[in-house]
Chain A
Amino acid sequence: MLGQQQCERILKEVLECAKTADEAEVSISTNESGLTRFAENYIHQNVVERNAQAKVRVVLGKKLGFGSTNRVDADGLREMVERALQTARLSEDNPDFAGLPEDRGPVPTIDVFRPSTERFTPRRRAEAVSRLIEACKAKGLRASGAFETGLREYGIANSKGIFRYQPATVADFNTVVMSDDSSGFANASAIDVYDLDVDALAREAIDKAERSRHPIDLPSGEYPVVLEEYAVANLVGFLAYLGFNGMAYREGRTFLNEKRGQAVAVPGISIWDDGLDPRGLAQPFDFEGVPKQRVDLVKGGMACDPVFDHQTARAAGVANTGHALPAPNSYGPIPLHLFMAPGSTPKAELANGITRGIWVTRFHYVNPVQPRQTILTGMTRDGTFLIEDGKLTRGIKNLRFTASILDALQRVEAIGASTRAFISTYGSTVVPALRIGSFSFSGATTF
């Protein structure tokens, strides 16, 4: 960990090196983490890494140059700036460039750093993994997965007064527990490693693997489904990525161009982005240092607004919502701190009323087929069950879905009363489980 003082020294040093530029922006991101990985009931990979990466964006008139280095000593930083200035000089004007954002005042302070996570040792990770492995061995099952703990720092400054720093810790545990013909999954992430109940996650995955033994074939077709939070997070992430990018909206490439202000889901569905909510991985400013605003994406079933960064907000003549990605970025802004409102149905009761349907733990290898229609395809994985008369009766072999997210959200029949939080590299997703009246499965596999 470089620490706030060292990060700020680097930011100042780079701005000083780049003072011949008309404008300059510098960021520093660091990480220090350990990951203990296991498979077939033993630890097979166990790693420690640390790195610090500085980036600079320099502006000469309307010309831009970028540089990046992980040599953050004085020589490395100076060389990075010189390379960026050289490329800017050789570049062409970008008449659309709106300049760097100005500092509009302080951002809220959100503490997402836990010394307990920073200090968590490889031995503690290995001990937790060993408990899971022993539990699996006792039941004739095989455990695989990963337990990661680490810290990140992000600092950003520019020549127009922005100067920000935020440290964060993250812990993540995931496991797939397998028998000869079944598997079960569990995953959780948290700012504080002691908020992870690894033993409960172990029980969850073991239970799934045991209950889904001897899976049966089920033909493809339309089925009512219960999607657990893992699966819902996947769909919500794609919806945000495909639909609410302010640049894609400006270019006429998203469903929002037709559906903004219209009903796209049942009234109980509300999805928003909020970088300030500590239930996710809170990050009060974006990758340009601009304060993050809460943005409603879907409210009461109605499609709302896209998100913007400095460049796209200027072009659209609207307020910057603080959703920039790291520069250079030709893909536009994306919501990264997603929330879906919980409903009132306890998760255990979501299958009630389903005569014959499917319970999906999670999806695998999901990708867009027709992005504007939000049609995705992917497989079920690690705990797919037949629902009969409201009960999970047995495991089924995995199925391929090809379905529109918006269609699915229009068929939501019940929303789980609780949510789970998942933290990824740049953001987080907090969602409930859902019961959907009809979901399209286009194929099946052999296991």
Chain B
Amino acid sequence: MKEQLFKIVDAARTQGAQYADVRFLREENEILTVKNGRVEGLSKITDEGFGVRVLVDGAWGFSSSPTFALWERVVREAVEVARCSGLARKAGGIRFPAGPAVTDQYRTPFLEDPFAISLEQKLDLMLKADAAMREVPDIKVARTSLGFLRIEKHFASTEGSYIRQDLLESGGGIECTAVGAGDVQKRSYPNSFGRQQLTGGFEHIRAMDLPGNARRIAEECRALLTAPTCPSGVTTIILDPTQLALQIHESCGHAVELDRALGMEASYAGTSFLTPDKAGSFRYGSEIVNLYQDGTVRNGLGTYGYDDDGVAACRTDIVKNGIFVGYLSNRETAAEIGHTSSAANRACSWNRIPIVRMTNVNLAPGTWSFEDLIADTQDGLYLITNKSWSIDDKRINFQFGTEAAYEIKNGRLGRLIKNATYTGLTPEFWANCDAICNEKHWGLWGTPNCGKGEPSQIAHVGHGCAPARFRNVRVGVA
């Protein structure tokens, strides 16, 4: 493998590339779906190929193929495409600072290899969860899913780097839909979008205890059918960690991608209100808000050894004591503003170019216990598990809906509420964050469906957080 990859980057250099890298990926994906007691999907998917990225005369080119049989053609294409990019080249050319030659290996730490667990064991767990949900009246659809992903990834560059990474992800979840009383309601566990996913092994699935939580979730789902609708007004809200993770994702994670801030995603995902002139001075949130990116934290879905620039994963500050201080970046974009890369250059597959993606964008824990936080809240809503999401193309105006909510009255959780929504403007919202729970309540949440780029790329990223409270939030929009 190593010899083949260096042959490729050497050929690119011979044909005029000032820099070239090549990634080979081999992926194995196992997906299991049970719906209403029926095993609907039991898939084994394999996918492999390589992509060559070249910088020629200050312009990028990329080509890819599933088979090394075409490697010479792929290199020629990548160089030719880069020369075509030169027809509308960036003034002065792309700046791509030199990096050291790195030779290393990285392996995702895990306890139990999910591919070594029998299908019978997996299906038994899923069918138990499925049955528990369907014991509850009015549950029309019960769906349980598990997914496991193993990636073997090799990277070589003209700088002499050769890095092998063996990455492992495990995910699972349950969701149910209740139909009755003229309404349709849905609940999910541990997270929406079908699953909670982390790097690591089957230990994550066991920790979820899907069968043990299935009936509770189904009963809550049924109760939503006759629950009162979220009132309209301005109130205090507390976000559970799953909803807060998506709030961080949309209003911070994407906003601090430096390629967006520099306009490189303008036509599709959009740009960012956090322009480079704001770094170091702009008040993003209240003084207790500390956000950072960390590609090294164990179990994070955005955790790896090296990014696709060959830069080692690291931890850097994004918001410090409420002030915006740093971006997610790669070698190219960091150089534009005189910074160093935060090792966030990632492609979702061998046939995609790497672009700036989230790693694990985390909110540092605060000091509150969850019980004290509820007790300290006179009037408000506790919002649980995302149902809908939307944010503008500069990441300012957002609106979220959650699957469930509970009233908070006089320091106690009260009635279940349905169709809860809230909306706001990013800096105002985070400025009104006045309490964050402590590390005992802090956990990592995976977002395995983060879309960006053209052609489309779906990235797996993570967010760590604990429940947090926000004042003066508009709720009940729809």
Contact = CB atoms under 8 A, between A and B. Distances in A.
B397 A443 contact: yes
B64 A48 contact: yes
Contact of A40 (B46, B61, B263, B391): B263
Interface stretch (A49-57, A261-269, A346-354): A49-57
A410 interface: no
Given A377-B399, A398-B392, A69 B47 contact: yes
Contacts, number: 271
Contacts of B44: 66-68, 80, 83-84, 87
A383 to B, nearest CB: 12
A84 B46 CA distance: 12
Interface string B217-247: 0000000000000000000000000000000
A351 to B, nearest CB: 24
Contact of B396 (A43, A370, A442, A447): A447
A303 interface: no
Nearest to B355: A45
Given A71-B48, A369-B401, A146 B392 contact: no
A39 B267 contact: yes
B60 A91 contact: no
Nearest to B30: A87
Q: How large is the interface on B (under 10, 10 to 19, 20 to 34, 35 or more residues)?
A: 35 or more
A309 interface: no
B177 A378 contact: no
B394 A447 contact: yes
B43 interface: yes
B66 A70 contact: yes
B345 interface: no
Interface residues of A, number: 92
A3 B416 CA distance: 58
B254 to A, nearest CB: 10
B46 to A, nearest CB: 5
24 contacts: A33-B455, A35-B455, A42-B90, A47-B455, A48-B78, A48-B81, A49-B455, A50-B351, A63-B39, A64-B41, A67-B44, A67-B45, A90-B123, A92-B127, A125-B84, A146-B267, A251-B179, A328-B33, A368-B388, A370-B419, A375-B478, A379-B393, A381-B270, A447-B273
Interface of A: 33-53, 63-71, 76, 79-80, 83-84, 87-88, 90-92, 94-97, 121-123, 125-127, 129-130, 133, 142, 144-146, 148, 174-176, 178, 183, 251-253, 328-330, 364-372, 375, 377-379, 381, 398, 400, 402, 442-447
Pairs A-B, 8 closest by C-beta atoms: A328-B41, A445-B397, A144-B266, A66-B43, A144-B267, A42-B90, A48-B63, A126-B84
Given A47-B81, A67-B43, 19 more contacts: A44-B60, A47-B353, A49-B352, A49-B455, A83-B44, A87-B42, A90-B120, A130-B88, A144-B267, A252-B179, A328-B33, A328-B41, A365-B393, A367-B388, A379-B390, A381-B393, A400-B390, A400-B423, A445-B396
